[in-house]
Amino acid sequence: MQSTVQSLFQPYTLPSGVTLANRLVMAPMTHLSSQPDGKVSAAEIAYYVRRSEGLGLIITAATWVTPSGGMHGSPGAAADDDIPGLRRLAAAIRERGAKAVLQLFHTGRQGTRTGDLVAPSAVPEAREGAAVPRALEEAEIADIIHAFGEAARRAIATGFDGVEIHGGNGNLTHQFFSPLSNQRNDRYGGTLERRMTFGLAVVDEVQRVVREHADRPFAVGYRLSPEERDMPGAASDAPDEREQPGITMEDTLAFVDVLAGRGLDYLHISLTDFRNPPRRGSWGGRSRLAILQERVGGRVPLIGVGAVHTAEDALEAMQSGVPLLALGRELLMEPDWVDKARSGRSADIRTTMPANGCERLSIPDPMWQLLRSIPGWLPFEEK
């Protein structure tokens, strides 16, 4: 298998000209370890440094573009005084050979640092005790779109190699695309095409800023959840009636057709398991990753992710034809995954989380507590 594994370590050049040393990506994962004001902390830099060696690309945790659109403990890129910390983070990743991409997001109805909970419509999340958000005014939507561009400008200024627009996992961009959370009847909602408007406007604004400010190859990617329930920590992969009428695979295929014509560097498909087929409809048993690769893989590179633990898993996922593969939970448990796979020590790859992993594996304490709180998300070893 060793000669086959080496296919994971071939270089790859994105459409913008950013060249990755290999096909392996660190998936963005919430760490809740930034400083209270959203400034980058020493703990989060240490977390990335421990995992940067040997990867082609590191995508950071979701970074808020406005204070009201951030979570407590998440990093921010909403003001120029965030630049010094972001510069240190980008340099720490790049010094170890990986390219660094800053993921940008707005929480929407998922939460807020400021007490002003907003969403496309006044529809709460489908969970007990969820607060009812305030529906955004059109002028506020324009301000948020502009804020994505400003955050991209800061990413350019701080030495990142690109940005990823987070359009999945239930955040504001996902909320605008979902008919569950978007019940507007203006240009931002009401039909499938109008539900695409916000995400596409963010893409256009970020790309405008890149054209204006980047003096080097700079990548722009977009992450999306192909169905409504593609959320980290979901207890089941089965349909949930509370999520009707949510995002369907047919909706996503229409959206990626449009995104594929937008000149993006990649689409990042957020999945719990790359093998799983769509939850609804008849798709011949094919996985969502394979369906999407078949639909747009010839027009825009795809990053696949989800339940890639061993080198064998990685090779299986690559059989779908995707050129890039992201490792998430596995890099938490095994920061040396790349070295072990590359050197023929795949059998030594750890696929469980040691009880002392917080300190041993440079996982910040807030992230450790979060991981422990999600049943079944990681297989923890007990003392």
> SS in 3 state form for the chain?
CHHHHHHHHCCEECCCCCEECCCEEECCCCCCCCCCCCCCCHHHHHHHHHHHCCCCEEECCCEECCHHHCCCCCCECCCHHHHHHHHHHHHHHHCCCCEEEEEEECCHHHCCCCCCCEECCCCCCCCCCCCCCEECCHHHHHHHHHHHHHHHHHHHHCCCCEEEEEECCCCHHHHHHCCCCCCCCCCCCCCHHHHCHHHHHHHHHHHHHHHHHCCCCCEEEEEECCCCCCCCCCCCCCCCHHHCCCCCHHHHHHHHHHHCCCCCCEEEECCCCCCCCCCCCCCCCCCHHHHHHHHHCCCCCEEEECCCCCHHHHHHHHCCCCCEEEECHHHHHCCCHHHHHHCCCHHHCCCCECCCHHHHCCCCHHHHHHHHHCCCCCCECCC
In this prediction, residue 231 carries a pLDDT of: 47
Q: What CATH number is associated with residue 212?
A: 3.20.20.70
Whether residue 382 lies inside any domain: the answer is no
- pLDDT tens for 183-239 read 999 999 999 999 999 999 999 999 999 999 999 999 999 999 999 965 444 444 444
Whether residue 308 lies inside any domain: the answer is yes
Closest CA to 182 of 278, 257, 109, 279: 109
- pLDDT tens for 91-114 read 999 999 999 999 999 999 999 999
Whether residue 380 lies inside any domain: the answer is no
Q: Quick one: what percent of the chain has pLDDT higher than 70? A: 95
197-213 and 138-157 are packed helices; what angle lies between their axes, rounded to 10 degrees?
A: 40
Whether residue 106 lies inside any domain: the answer is yes
Residues 355 and 313: their CA atoms lie apart, in Å, by: 24
CB of 332 closer than 8 Å to CB of 353: yes
- pLDDT tens for 129-155 read 999 999 999 999 999 999 999 999 999
Whether residue 112 lies inside any domain: the answer is yes
In this prediction, residue 3 carries a pLDDT of: 57
Whether residue 378 lies inside any domain: the answer is no
Q: Of the ranges 162-171, 215-224, 288-297, 346-355, which one carries the lowest mean pLDDT score?
A: 346-355
* pLDDT surpassing 90 at residue 284: no
In this prediction, residue 243 carries a pLDDT of: 53
The band of 244, judged by pLDDT with boundaries at 50, 70 and 90, is: low
Domain that holds residue 154: 2-373
* 230, two tokens: 């593609």
Amino acid identity for residue 249 in this structure: M
Residues 249 and 279: their CA atoms lie apart, in Å, by: 8
Whether residue 199 lies inside any domain: the answer is yes
The rounded Cα 39 to chain-centroid distance in angstroms is 20
* 356, two tokens: 């002392």
pTM for this entry: 0.95
Total domain count, the chain: 1
* pLDDT surpassing 50 at residue 304: yes
Whether residue 118 lies inside any domain: the answer is yes
